Amino acid sequence: MKKNWLIPALAMLLISTACSQKEITSQNTESNKVPVTVAEVSKQSISDTIELVGLAVPETQVPLLTTSPLTVEDVHVKIGDIVKKGDLIVSLDSEAALEQVSQAQQAVTELENALSKMQEMQKTAENQASLSDIPKLQEELNQSLEKSQALLNGVDTGAVTSLDLLQSTMDVMVKQAQLANAASQAQQIPTFNTTELEMSLTQARQSLKQAEQMADATTITSPIDGIISELNVVKDGIATPNVPIGTVIQLEEIAATFQVNSYQVSKLKSGQRATISFEGVTETFQSKIESVSPTVNPQTNMFSVTVPVSNSELGIKGGMRATAFVEVENMESQTVVPMNAILYEEDVAYVFVIEKGKAKRQQVTTGFRDKEFMQIVDGLKQGQKVAVNGKERLKDGIEITEQSE
């Protein structure tokens, strides 16, 4: 009798153990599932205000350059200093440049002296030739010829003696000889060719100007009133032509610059109102879109949008993160998901689609967004479910447990 009751007891114990193991296994399986809240991909209207994210860029930025590699003698400012136009920024080694100026100046002086001497010699030779006497001698010869002709006319009347005629003839011969001598001297005047000397002087003056410009370039001054935003040299270092010595900016006017995709740019145009905010600045700014790039940047495959912002208090700094809410058309019946369903990896947007209790990673192309929803241009269909809260813990293919919000 004792053995009869033992068999049913053992059977009950085995059944109980099997059930308990099944429950434990089930509990372990459930605990491995990631709890998430889900949302359905739907068709909704996107608000007429879209959000853009970009950077604050000073509208005026002037790089400071050198034309040749030179040693830095001194740096007179530091980053953040306020400077006026003409203020000294950097001094470069000027010894070689000043030596070139001295040599070029000496060449100009020597050529100027040589040209002056040659011109003076030309003038002296012309004066010695007595060119001014030729017209006078010609007039005197004409008078003598007229007198001689008159005497010849009086020979027949006996009023003119042969002695008078001889004296008149001798006078004509003397005047002719004087005129011939003066003309001969004029033909023998030496000619001085100054053309080549004048060309050399012009070239020397150009070389002097270039040398002076190089000497001036060793003193780097600010071309505008502004702020030093960048310095790329140190004392005793080398300033090179291919790298700016520094940059001077003006912060009074800021360009909020945004990069947008082809879907966004189709809805943006100049003149649209925008509300701009900057990270770290409590004030918001009202402005309008100034420009929308008509062509895509081939490196980024994005379009540039610029919104000017007045910065009279200089609270906005270059490089600050800028956010713009731009008023655009209201778009009806767009495929959307909640904003917080979107994840990014290296600027590529993706979501986790929930299918049969598992998460599936799905890359998507996004469009416009408002404060609540993101437009999905490609990658999802209406009615699909996507993970929202808890999406960060998901991996492709992992099992999930749906939870209510």
pTM, two decimals, is: 0.49
For the chain, the three-class secondary structure string (H helix, E strand, C coil) is CHHHHHHHHHHHHHHHHHHHHHHHHHHHHHHHCEEECEEECEEEEECCEEEEEEEEEEEEEEEECCCCCEEEEEECCCCCCEECCCCEEEEECCHHHHHHHHHHHHHHHHHHHHHHHHHHHHHHHHHHCCCCHHHHHHHHHHHHHHHHHHHHHCCCCCCCCHHHHHHHHHHHHHHHHHHHHHHHHHHCCCCCCCHHHHHHHHHHHHHHHHHHHHHHCCEEECCCCEEEEEECCCCCCEECCCCCCEEEEEEEEEEEEEEECHHHHCCCCCCCEEEEEECCCCCEEEEECCEECCCCECCCCEEEEEEEEECCCCCCCCCCEEEEEEECCCEEEEEEEEHHHCEEECCEEEEEEEECCEEEEEECEEEEECCCEEEEEECCCCCCEEECCCHHHCCCCCEEEECCC
Which two three-digit tokens encode residue 372? 């609540």
What's the pLDDT at 48? 63
61-90+223-248 CATH, one of 1.10.260.40, 3.40.50.970, 2.40.50.100, 1.10.645.10: 2.40.50.100
pLDDT block averages, 10 residues each, the chain of length 405? 52 53 49 88 82 94 90 92 94 82 83 78 62 73 78 66 63 67 61 72 85 81 94 92 92 95 90 94 95 94 95 92 86 89 92 95 88 90 94 93 80
Contact (Cβ atoms closer than 8 angstroms) between residue 128 and residue 218: no
- Output the CATH code of domain 33-48+329-405: 2.40.420.20
Q: Between β-strands 49-64 and 88-92, what pairing exists: parallel, antiparallel or unpaired?
A: unpaired
126: exposed, middle or buried (C-beta count within 10 Å: 0-12, 13-18, 19+)? middle
What's the pLDDT at 25? 46
What's the pLDDT at 163? 60
- Read off the pLDDT of residues 42-75 as tens digits, 9 standing for 90 and up: 998 876 678 899 999 999 999 999 888 888 999 9
- Read off the pLDDT of residues 250-297 as tens digits, 9 standing for 90 and up: 999 999 999 999 888 988 999 999 999 999 999 999 999 999 999 999
